[in-house]
Structure 1
Amino acid sequence: MYSIVKFAFLFVAVQSVVSIPANEDEKTLDLRFEYGNATYLISSMRLDWYHARNYCKVQGMDLVSIESVGENSAVMNAVSDMLTESFWISGSDLYQEGAFYWDSTGRAIGPFQNWAPNEPSGDRNEHCVELNINVNHLWNDVNCDLEKLFICEMNPCV
């Protein structure tokens, strides 16, 4: 009896952490594409920035860091059919206000940048970077707790 109770508790604990779908209809339909040596995943789930970052890590990936014009074009082409959505990317200034960096690499954002006009805005409650639907998917800093679609990236080990 003790083993059954222990198993039931463990199953409930694991299910709440990883959100195991209850049935086939709840599974997500993620889109994958490649650019250069990297593989990308556009998630069909809406999560806050922190959970999106963790979801990518569970997949063996990171939130995308868009570091070149070519990579930006590839991402924009992939999301072009999703014109009503905004997407999380890995940019953040969580560790130092106004000093944006790529969470996935730890490097400062730049030299390539694709900010919307007047962004980043400097609002003390906006620490995470999105591809903003309202300005043709240019970058915008927003509150990290908002739920959005997101893009993961996996670069091969060198």
Structure 2
Amino acid sequence: MKHLSVFVVALYAVFAISNVASLSDEWTTFKEGQYIMKILSGPATWLDAVKQCREQGYELLTVESQAEEDEVLAVFGPYITNRLWLGGTDLGKEGSFYWYSTGAPLNFTAWHAGEPSGNNPSNGVKEDCLQYQNKNGVILWNDSVCENEYNFICELYDPCARRPF
């Protein structure tokens, strides 16, 4: 279990979120530490989201337990109106999802029914990247085409984040 503190940067397109500005400077307990949200940019393809996070010193968000899932959705759920990239993928081996930032397998999952649906050879669709998907108000995981553009959440593990800033 991670014992490091976390900063999370939420990246949202302005058109998708009407009242995010009210959250932009709030600090909240998250993943045993603190995080801060900022509106930076988005949407982006999954790979561009990885790049944008890393350019800021962050990684795409990982969710490794039900408790983390509950915390993430308590904070971000109201703003996930469609889809939001997470840091998981099965690029390299179809059906074997892992967290891109660590290479660790997904030991916790929260898939929508019928997901992950994987690749469809008949039409060439390849769904290799993990996202939150809001289906009629139910936010769970889905695999999607990595080249689609969605908003995303980045995180930074900071062992010193428990100190006041």
Give the TM-score of the pair, scaled to structure 1.
0.72
| Partner in structure 2 of residue 84 of structure 1 | 81
Structural RMSD (CA): 2.4
Is the radius of gyration larger for structure 1 or structure 2? 1
What is the rounded CA distance, in whole Å, between the counterparts of 2:92 and 2:154 in structure 1?
Answer: 21
Query: Any residues of structure 2 matched to 1:121-136 within 5 Å, and which?
Result: 121-124=117-120, 125-134=126-135, 136=138
Is the CA contact 1:37–1:155 (under 8 Å) kept in the aligned structure 2? no
Unaligned runs of 5+ in 1: 1-28
* Percentage identity across paired residues of the two chains: 33
Aligned counterpart in structure 2 of residue 115 of structure 1, from 104, 111, 117: 111
Of 66, 81, 91 in structure 2, the residue corresponding to residue 94 of structure 1 is 91
* Structure 2 residue corresponding to 1:60, chosen from 57, 62, 69: 57
Corresponding residue number in structure 2 for 1:25: none
Once residues 148 and 38 of structure 2 are traced to their aligned partners in structure 1, the CA distance between those partners, rounded to angstroms, is: 17
CA contact 1:126–1:141 (8 Å) conserved in 2:
yes
Q: 1:109–1:81: structure 2 CA closer, same or farther, 3 Å change rule?
A: same
Q: 1:38 to 1:141 in 2, by over 3 A?
A: farther
Judged with a 3 Å threshold, the aligned counterparts in structure 2 of structure 1 residues 62 and 84 are, in CA distance, closer, same or farther, namely: same
TM-aligned CA distance change 1:145 to 1:83, over 3 Å: same
Partners of 1:38 and 1:65 in 2: how far apart? Answer: 15
Structure 2, gaps ≥5 residues long: 1-20, 121-125, 161-165
SS of corresponding position for 1:84: coil
What's the TM-score once normalised by structure 2's chain length? 0.70
Name the count of aligned residue pairs: 130
Q: Shift of the alpha carbon at 1:78?
A: 1.6
Cα deviation, residue 155, structure 1: 1.2
* Cross-structure match for 2:152: 150
User: How much has 1:58 moved relative to structure 2?
Assistant: 1.1
Which residue type is aligned with residue 151 of structure 1? I
Q: Quick one: distance in 1 between partners of 2:92 and 2:73? A: 28
**Aligned residue type for 2:115:** E
| Larger strand percent | 2
Q: Relative to total residues, which structure has the larger helix share, 1 or 2?
A: 1
1:13-92, aligned counterparts within 5 Å?
31=24, 34-35=29-30, 36-37=32-33, 39=35, 41=37, 44-92=41-89
Amino acid paired to 2:154: C
- SS at 1:109 equivalent: coil
Quick check: 2:128–2:143 contact (8 Å CA) kept in 1? yes
